[in-house]
Structures are given as structure tokens and as C-alpha cells.
Amino acid sequence: MPREGDVWVGIDVGTQSAHTVAVTSSGAVLGRARSALTSRRVGDRHEQDPQQWWTAVTRATRHALAGVPPGAVRGVAVAGTSGTVVLLGPMGTPVTPGIMYDDARATTEVARVNEAGGPLWAELGYQRMQPTWALPKLLWLLRHVPHPPAGLALAHQSDVINRRLVGRAVATDLSSALKTGADLVAGTWPRAVFDALGVPPDLLPPLVTPGTRLGAVCAAAADETGLPAGTPVHAGMTDGCAAQLASGALRPGSWNSVLGTTLVLKGVADRPLRDPTGAVYSHRGPGGTWLPGGASSTGAGVIARDYPPADLPALTRAAGSYEPAAPVCYPLLSAGERFPFVAPQARGFVVGTPRDEAERFAAVLQGVAYLERLCFDHLDLLGAPLHGEVVLAGGATRNSYWNQLRADILDRPVLLPDDVEPALGMAILAAAADRDLTATAATMVRIRTVIEPRPGAPERFLPGYLRLVDTLERLGWLPAATATHARKRSTG
């Protein structure tokens, strides 16, 4: 049982930064810090330097622990972006860049992956893999690594950090391994599929469930991070699943919508969803549940790219004058869409001419919220339970007007916790190593407020939403079944 003063550490390696929090069993945050990360984007390629992941984690963790008594720390867990992979040499040194979650270069390889593993992917509910998933990218890396050294090993983003923390090779968690082709039902790598693809067996790490103890913080990592040597290191989850834990939405029918650089939805169901389009996939959840969801390429990253931070307060205030905006916007940070439809050819667009910059900004905010609603409509088509609460998370929740807009367009109340970060979810997972996860989250998650839709607002935004649905279908990106279902739900 936890004692008063016990502290757990959660680490999240994201797109723009590494984030560390130190949290008590009652949910009090004793320390938090971030350290920036940089990316290289060229066309459909997105890379980061894996060494920078570790450097950022050490800086953030040392700062977060500055005021925490070393003897209070009881455990640590790490989250990473879903589908991000790297190849390591025999000593754990990266021999390739980190190929990021939305990198879509593996278009040739994904066809091989789906031919070899199609029946298993269908059995697991996602029908087929996408070019952005980890297994196609692994094949691409194996094809393009010149003179690969003996002892080459696959690592997900969180594996790189865990290996440095423990000081040796570690197992990977089933959450991170989903997009690498792990059989989540059996809890194993599907050997026949990997043999057909020519993936060496010794390339793959062992598989464990999230929360499993991987080892303890070694002396070298303790010196760099400030974590006490001997601190238990627990297998983590992807950032989307970590945010699910941080939201406290762990009962069937509950959903967590994480709006950061991109948009990630995760819910809780008693069975995996089966999506013939391949946009939705299901992680294993706590207590025999499943966590269905998907990750869209839309999100607040478009705002970070297109608007200086100093302009955002004034633009947000002005956006309220355009409800709805006359133009309809589909905001994409990079080429290709993954959820609620799969379209590698998708590109962002604006239909109509904004009267000024404020209306263009309003169209971006509304466009992301429209996509969020379309995600829920697609989930409903698949039979997902949607009767529980919707909890908002991610950096975009700092914009209170956008939170209200999302409640209006979704036409349902949304909850805002005090802390909505995946790093908190990892602290909860570490704290629950010997306890019930749902009960642990209930003591560590604090709901700050509930936002109700404004009277008349859902009806006001409905025409803009339907125009976006029509446009996406006309372009051939949105399947007719999803478009028809979205219209049916919208008209009652």
C-alpha cells in the first residue's frame, strides 16, 4: 500500500518536448519540467535524433525532481509516440534516425506487410496496417541501413529511454508493439508473419504488459536524471494510452480526446472494434477491457506552424465573431490522414475565402472540432460504446474558447481534469504496479470543470460540419458509409 509522501515519476517523450512529472498518491504534482525536442520534416518523412530523446529526458527529469526527496520516489514509467521506431546497435547506440509516428515513407513496404499479415490484422480488428505504422517502417529501415552491424535491435521510442534507465536491453510493452505487429490476444510476436517478411527473430525485443517491472534505475542513469539508483522502472504505454490513464476515463463507454500536435481518441470497450477501413485499432486495457481509438493528422500543430504565439490571444477573441466561419477548413500538419479515414493522399484545404485572418483562424479551430466529431461518428458506425464521459486532454485544452467550441460541435458535455498529460498517466501506471489501476487513477485524477454545450450552438455549427463531410467524401478520402452515417446521426 502507498504511504503518505510516496512519489511516482511519469515521463512522456512527445513530438515537441520530453515532459516529466513527480506525483503523490493523492494526485498532487510536486514537480514537473519539459525539455524541447526538434524534428526534421521533408515531404512525407519525419525524423528525430534518438540521442536527443535521452538528453531531453535527463534535463526534464532532473528539473522535475529538484524539490522531491530522493527517498520518496517509488517508481517510474515512460510513454512514447505510437509507431515511432529506431534501430539500435549491440551496445544500444542508435544506428538510424528515429522514424516518427506520422512518417509515411513506407508505402511499398506496407503492401508486403498487409499481404503477409492480413488475416491476423483482420482478427485483431484493424484489417490492415498503414504506411505510418511501425512494422512497414521497420522493413524500410532494414532495407536502407548500410552494412548493418551484428546484434541489431528494434526499439520503440520508450524502449530507448527504458534501456538507458536500466542500463541494458529491456522488453517492450504490448501497447507500443501494437503497430509493430504484436498479437495482442496471444501476447506474442507472430513468428510466421515475421518469417514471411524476412525479419530476424533476434531483432525483436521480448513483450510484456504495461506496468510490468523492467528493472531498476542504474547508477549511470541516476547520475544523469536525478532518479535514485534502484528505483523500479515499469513498462509504459503509447502517449495516447497514457493520456487515457491521466484522464481517469477507464470505464466502458468513456472516451479521452487528446488534442496536441495531432488529435488522438481513445475509449474503453469490452471487446476490440473491427474496422474494415483500418482507421481504428484497439489496445489491450486494464481488467480485461480494450482501448479502441485512432490518431488523426489534424491538430494544434497546424496552429503552431502557421501562427506566432503572440497573436493567439487576440485571434482567439476575434474567432468568436465567426460562428460559424464561412469557409470550411480541413487542417493538416503533414500530408496524409489516418483517422477517421485512411487517405495517404489527403492534403489540408480551405473551401471558401476568409474575410480576414481572424475568420481563417476561426475556420481552423472549427475544422479540428469538426474532425473530432467525425471521429466519433465513425466510431459509432463501428458499434463503439459512446455513453460515458468525454474527457479532454492535450496542450490545446489551455485554450478555453476552443474547449467550449469542441463541446458545442460534439453536442455533449466535456470534462477537463486538472492535469491532462500523458506523463501523469505514466505516474499513475507506476503507482498501480501492485494495485488496481482504475482505483489508483480515481485517487490521482482531479476533474477541474465540466463544460456544457451552449444553447443553440450545436445547431449553428451543423451546416459547416456537413459541408466538411460532403467535401471529404467528394474528394474520395472519406468512405461513403462513414459519410452517410455522419449525416444520419446529425439529422436525428
Question: What crossing angle do the helices spanning 400-410 and 457-474 adopt, rounded to 10°?
Answer: 80
Q: What pLDDT score does 2 carry?
A: 58
What digits encode the pLDDT tens for the residues 70-107?
A: 899 999 999 999 999 999 998 999 999 999 999 999 99
Sequence-separated (6 or more) residues with CB below 8 Å from residue 488? none
Q: What pLDDT score does 82 carry?
A: 93
Cis peptide before 324 (omega within 30 of 0): yes
Q: How far is CA 423 from the centre of its chain?
A: 12
Domains of the chain: 7-237 (3.30.420.40), 248-490 (3.30.420.40)
CA pair distance 10, 231, nearest whole angstrom: 13
Q: Is the predicted pLDDT of residue 341 greater than 60, yes or no?
A: yes
Q: Is the predicted pLDDT of residue 262 greater than 80, yes or no?
A: yes
CB atoms within 10 A of CB 491: 8
CA pair distance 452, 411, nearest whole angstrom: 8
CA pair distance 394, 491, nearest whole angstrom: 30
Average pLDDT, the chain: 94
What digits encode the pLDDT tens for the residues 427-459?
A: 999 999 888 898 999 999 989 999 999 999 999
Q: Is 51 helix (H, G, I), strand (E, B) or coil?
A: helix
What digits encode the pLDDT tens for the residues 359-411?
A: 999 999 999 999 999 999 999 999 999 999 999 988 899 999 999 999 999 99
Sequence-separated (6 or more) residues with CB below 8 Å from residue 420? 243, 246, 247, 258, 391, 392, 393, 394, 397
Strands 281-284 and 414-417: unpaired
CA pair distance 61, 73, nearest whole angstrom: 12
Residues present in the chain in total: 492
Q: What pLDDT score does 418 carry?
A: 87
Judge whether 381 and 339 are in contact, CB under 8 Å: no
Q: What pLDDT score does 460 carry?
A: 97
